Amino acid sequence: MYLAGTGHYVPDRLVDNIELFEFPGIRDSFDVDRARTSLRGADPEAAESLTDAEIFDGWARQLTGIGTRRLLPEGDGTTAEDMCVRAGRRALEHAGVSADDLDFIIVASLTAREIVPNAAVTMADRLGIPAVPGFVLNTACAGFIHALSVGYAYVAGGQSRNVLVVSGDALSRVTNYHDPKTAVLFADGSGAALLTAEPGRGRVLGPPFLAAEYSPDHLNLVGQGWGFSGGPDHKLSMAGGANVLRHAIRTMRDASEAALERVDVGWDEVDAVIPHQANGRITLGLERMLHLSRGRVIHAIDGLGNVSASSVPITLDRLLRGEHGPLADRARIVLTAVGGGYASGAAVVEWNAA
């Protein structure tokens, strides 16, 4: 199974914590005194001299590792589908493959503007191939790995030769900016990869590993139309805390080890690990749990934010293009993610960087 190319798209707008603090809702909802107390433990004198916005910045960095994130401009009409099209085009360009050669499109998203037509066939139409079929799946932050697994099955089973796997979310459209712990995390973006039966620079070394554990408490978003008549639009509801953090770390470790076992690859043969960029404390915790040397686990949440399923393909694309430093001539990369629900998965890919 070959990986021909990758691509991604993120908005130009880079919002730092100081600017985010001024968003309607956040300033009124944020407990400055409580956050100032938590920062006093690190430097009591400095904490007393900080402005409210600076307290928010320090709290956000301490809690999530995020200083800036990518958000769509306010009032902008860009949709998740728009971002998916841009990422998909870049993946095709990277692969040197025409859209006319695509057989199927799979989109992982929880924020598509339209339910019908689905985002995959909308993409096909926008790419000039309206007869190409496709569908959308939603396993939240694990969506790209799950979509990759479906694409793998389509190509391996001979049903398709070229499958475009895309994830994209406009999370700012469903983020509750009256809940600072949620609002500080989420961002917008899209990533894509082209799977093909034709030999290429990359390979997916075996079928991705997928798992699930039902829990509606960690991340929840009620479907549009299912709320109270005349009520507000539904927004993401996300729990946090140490238990959620530890669960995410253990789940991504276990999924990674299961995926490596499937393809008979050991940790000593892995050049890089791309975990879902859920929270800086989670990716650092995974690095410590795996006992890997610094630099092998990619930390990319600062400057990006949590873009749900798209964090893995965005970071993979940047890695393959040299944005995270040089790669080995034949690099083996573990992709791993856990999302609300819970859903999880991992895959092992190989890329010829020479």
Domain-wise residue ranges, the chain: 209-352
Strands (E), 171-208: 188-196, 202-204
> Could you count the other beta carbons within 10 Å of the beta carbon of residue 217?
11
Coil vs helix vs strand at 107:
strand
pLDDT score, position 185: 94
Higher pLDDT, residue 212 or 7: 7
- pLDDT digit string, tens, across residues 130-155: 999 999 999 999 999 999 999 999 99
CA 261 to chain centre: 24
Residue of 58, 72, 57 lying closest to 21 (CA atoms)? 57
Q: Which residues are catalytic?
A: 141, 276, 306
- pLDDT, tens digit (0-9, with 9 covering 90-100), for 53-66: 999 999 999 999 99
pLDDT band at residue 231 using 50, 70 and 90 as cut-offs: very low
The strand ranges marked E within the chain are 2-9, 14-16, 68-70, 104-108, 134-137, 162-170, 188-196, 202-204, 209-215, 219-220, 237-238, 272-275, 330-339, 341-352
Give the model's pLDDT for residue 302.
96
- Has residue 215 got a pLDDT over 90? no
Quick: pLDDT tens for 71-90: 999 888 999 999 999 999 99
Residue whose C-alpha is closest to residue 252's, from 216, 297, 303, 214:
297
The matching CATH number, chosen from 1.10.357.10, 3.40.47.10, 3.30.2130.30, 3.40.50.150, for 209-352 is 3.40.47.10
> Residue 5's closest CA among 120, 93, 81?
93
